[in-house]
Amino acid sequence: MNLRTQIIQKLVHINEAIFFYPKLKKFYKENLKNDKVSILDVGANKGQSIDFFLKVNPNAEFDAFEPNKKLFVYLQNKYKTNTKY
């Protein structure tokens, strides 16, 4: 990966951390107050959305789909001790 691409990726991550995720977290905290929240994550990748929603509502339950076999195995290992998934 070239330097320009790396710089752009860093800037995108900084933008998300400062502006996007705090607003998104506030929205979901206000709207996902129920203990019984079910979330469908299509294209779960490395579990970033699962981790985000668990910070918003630790009682959320997930159904996640990941077609990439390596990432699927990664997710199984990452969340194998948590029975909510």
Q: Domain check: are 50 and 11 in the same one?
A: no
From the CA atom positions of the chain, what is the Rg in Å? 15
Q: How many domains does the chain have?
A: 2
Q: Domain check: are 27 and 40 in the same one?
A: no
Q: Domain check: are 44 and 85 in the same one?
A: yes
Give pLDDT, residue 33: 74
Q: Domain check: are 52 and 74 in the same one?
A: yes
Q: Domain check: are 20 and 59 in the same one?
A: no
Q: Domain check: are 40 and 81 in the same one?
A: yes
Q: Domain check: are 27 and 39 in the same one?
A: no
Computed over every residue of the chain, the mean pLDDT equals 89
Q: Domain check: are 39 and 56 in the same one?
A: yes
Beta bridge partners of 41: 64
pTM over 0.85: no
pLDDT digits (tens, 9 = 90+) for 18-75: 988 899 889 988 887 777 888 999 999 999 999 999 888 888 888 999 999 999 999 9
**Three-state secondary structure readout of the chain:** CCHHHHHHHHHHHHHHHHHHHHHHHHHHHHHCCCCCCEEEEECCCCCHHHHHHHHHCCCCEEEEECCCHHHHHHHHHHCCCCCCC
